[in-house]
Amino acid sequence: MLALYLSHPQVLQDPHVAVPQWGLSPIGRERAEALAARMVVPADAMIFTSTERKARELAEILARGAGNAVIAEEEMGENDRSATGYLAPQQFEAMADRFFAEPQVSAAGWERAIDAQSRIVAAVGEALARAPTGTPMVFCGHGAVGTLLKCFVGGRAIARSEDQSRIGHKGGGNGFIFDLAAMRLGSDWMAFEDLPIDWEQR
């Protein structure tokens, strides 16, 4: 069954606020609203989301437009980076490079990429198993774990080159189509603005 994974768009970064509590920026909210207006999310879809604020805000915007309920799952959260807390952009990019380059090693206390991959694959698999046959499934989450899910489904090695920032919109707000049961990707990362309305048929 085809499903759609979405990463949250741009956020308001605040060094004094825990990263999971960051919300969407005005630009991120505008892009989410535009995605909802395009009706990319079918009215009968089940929407699952990470419990982190930015992902929940995306899910709520999409659900409001389509009239869907939102189901939040903690296991769909982004890779745990609490060991380092907020990092300036240049430091964060260097750490993200390490995270993807050495998936079996904890970079400065971050959750290992292989562990985050197992977690997101299991969470998505459990959600899909709960869905009635033929129900469209949409997942609202994050760039890193989304990339790890994509690599698993596509049979690709974990690598930074697979990350949304290297393929889709650099500010986040990307999606890909996948079939976990068939282990098939229907697309790579693409910006919200490029997501096809008929993604369920691909």
8 A C-beta contact, residue 22 and residue 10: no
161: Cβ contacts below 8 Å, ≥ 6 apart? none
Res. 142: pLDDT tops 80: yes
Mean pLDDT of 35-57: 95
8 A C-beta contact, residue 31 and residue 8: no
- Identify the structural domains of the chain with CATH numbers, from first to last: 3-201 (3.40.50.1240)
Give 72-89 pLDDT, tens digit per residue.
999 999 999 999 989 999
Q: How confident is the model at residue 165 (pLDDT cuts 50, 70, 90)?
A: very high
Mean pLDDT score across all residues of the chain: 95
8 A C-beta contact, residue 166 and residue 174: no
What is the pLDDT, as a whole number, of residue 156?
A: 98
Mean pLDDT of 138-164: 98
Q: How many CB atoms lie within 10 A of CB 7?
A: 28
Res. 202: pLDDT tops 80: no
Token look-up 């994509």 returns 150
Q: How confident is the model at residue 68 (pLDDT cuts 50, 70, 90)?
A: confident
8 A C-beta contact, residue 124 and residue 76: yes
State what percent of residues in the chain have pLDDT above 70. 100
What is the pLDDT, as a whole number, of residue 60?
A: 97
Token look-up 């985050």 returns 116
Q: What is the DSSP letter of 21?
A: G
Give 87-129 pLDDT, tens digit per residue.
999 999 999 999 999 999 998 999 999 999 999 999 999 999 9
Q: How many CB atoms lie within 10 A of CB 143?
A: 20
Res. 65: pLDDT tops 90: no
Res. 66: pLDDT tops 80: no
Give 179-195 pLDDT, tens digit per residue.
999 999 999 999 999 99
Mean pLDDT of 36-64: 95
CA angle 60, 127, 192 (to 5 degrees): 45
